[in-house]
Amino acid sequence: MRENDFLGWLRANTAPHPTVPLGLGDDMAAVELRTAIGKSTALALLKIDQCLDGVHFDLTRHTPAQAGRKAVNRCLSDCAAMACQPAAILIAVALPGTVGEIFARQLFQGGRAAADVFGCPIVGGDTAVWDQRLAITVAALGQADRPPLRRDQARPGDILCVSGQLGGSILGRHLDFPPRIRLAQQLAAAFDIHAMMDISDGLAMDLPRMMQASGVGAVVHCPALPIHPDARTLTARDGRPDWWHALCDGEDYELVFALPLSEAERLKNWPSEVPLCVIGAVTPEPGLRLLDQDSTPLSWPQGGWDAAAGLKVRRV
């Protein structure tokens, strides 16, 4: 089973609903809240995510607080993808029977510390105990003053940009990363952003999702990729190109977004605390193309994290 295939089946087998303008297939769902007489009053943005011991963290090396922080930040990163403000968090945990109350408190404190950065309250959840590893489920409620950014509105001729640097997150950044909520909101207010999503499974997997949802393709210039020093550290270990790590390692939790070519120069001069880099362009032809420094075509790498790919587990 492949995650993309399963998600496609889910979308095909989920009927549209009049109160759901944005359902399966984006970083968050959007649901209209209506009065008893059917008048729309607000748009609620919803997300739920899981974080598993042995997959997203490793409790033999990582603390409960680190696990709790990562679980909440993963959900908050999806709020960034939609440029919305997180309004509330719910946390459900399945605790191993071998841990005690101190462990549970530390887990909660880690999650609360992540949510507090954005003034987002933890308003409830659930606790269970079982004889398996720790499993954390986080749900987020978001709100926005403008229509949320989506991943299915990229247009031919748009430029493609990413925030921050990519690759090598497994060396530590995958545990404690800053969700780009403020940056996303600033970009949405300052530019005509057509499409946006966060990079959780690796650009090699997430960018094709955006392009497929938008019905377009893309060309990415390999020398333009913002490569994190951690990616080069991994290159020195395994010999894979640093650009491969930038595309395929995953868990960068940066933003990839598309906006009109006419905005390129203004974006270049726009004051941002987080580096922004143009990496390519949207094409009318479907498919992804990767070009080397001399415009030689490279094969689009078959990498990234697929949560449903058999027994594959993250190198936590």
Residue 152 counted as domain residue: no
* Confidence at residue 1, expressed as pLDDT on a 0 to 100 scale: 62
* Confidence at residue 131, expressed as pLDDT on a 0 to 100 scale: 97
- The CATH number of residue 218's host domain is 3.90.650.10
Half-sphere exposure at residue 9, Cβ-oriented, CA atoms within 13 angstroms = 6
* Confidence at residue 145, expressed as pLDDT on a 0 to 100 scale: 81
Strands 287-291 and 217-221: parallel
Q: Of 94, 119, 143, at which residue does a domain stop? A: 143
Contact 122, 112 (CB under 8 A): yes
* Confidence at residue 11, expressed as pLDDT on a 0 to 100 scale: 75
Q: Do residues 204 and 284 both lie within one domain?
A: yes
* Confidence at residue 311, expressed as pLDDT on a 0 to 100 scale: 35
* Confidence at residue 313, expressed as pLDDT on a 0 to 100 scale: 40
Contact 166, 231 (CB under 8 A): yes
pLDDT exceeds 90 at position 302:
no
* Confidence at residue 308, expressed as pLDDT on a 0 to 100 scale: 52
Q: Do residues 166 and 286 both lie within one domain?
A: yes
Average pLDDT, the chain: 92
Residue 105 counted as domain residue: yes
Q: Do residues 138 and 163 both lie within one domain?
A: no
* Confidence at residue 5, expressed as pLDDT on a 0 to 100 scale: 76
Residue 149 counted as domain residue: no
d(CA 132, CA 53): 10
Vertex 164: Cα angle to 55 and 229 (nearest 5): 75
Q: Which domain holds residue 215?
A: 159-298
Q: Is 56 helix (H, G, I), strand (E, B) or coil?
A: coil
E-strand stretches of the chain: 29-34, 40-52, 85-96, 122-130, 135-143, 159-163, 195-199, 217-221, 254-259, 276-283, 287-291, 297-298
Residue 222 counted as domain residue: yes
pLDDT (average), residues 223-238: 98
Q: Do residues 64 and 108 both lie within one domain?
A: yes
Q: Do residues 186 and 241 both lie within one domain?
A: yes
Residue 316 counted as domain residue: no
Query: For 123-127, 194-198, 248-252, 310-314, which range has the lowest pLDDT when averaged over its residues?
Result: 310-314
Q: Is 42 helix (H, G, I), strand (E, B) or coil?
A: strand
pLDDT (average), residues 101-120: 98
Residue 189 counted as domain residue: yes
Q: Do residues 80 and 186 both lie within one domain?
A: no
Q: How many domains does the chain have?
A: 2
* Confidence at residue 72, expressed as pLDDT on a 0 to 100 scale: 98
Q: Do residues 139 and 39 both lie within one domain?
A: yes
Structure tokens at 194: 């057509």
Spell out the alpha helix ranges (H) of the chain: 3-12, 64-81, 101-116, 181-190, 203-214, 229-238, 242-248, 264-268
pLDDT exceeds 60 at position 315:
no
pTM: 0.91
Q: Do residues 28 and 134 both lie within one domain?
A: yes
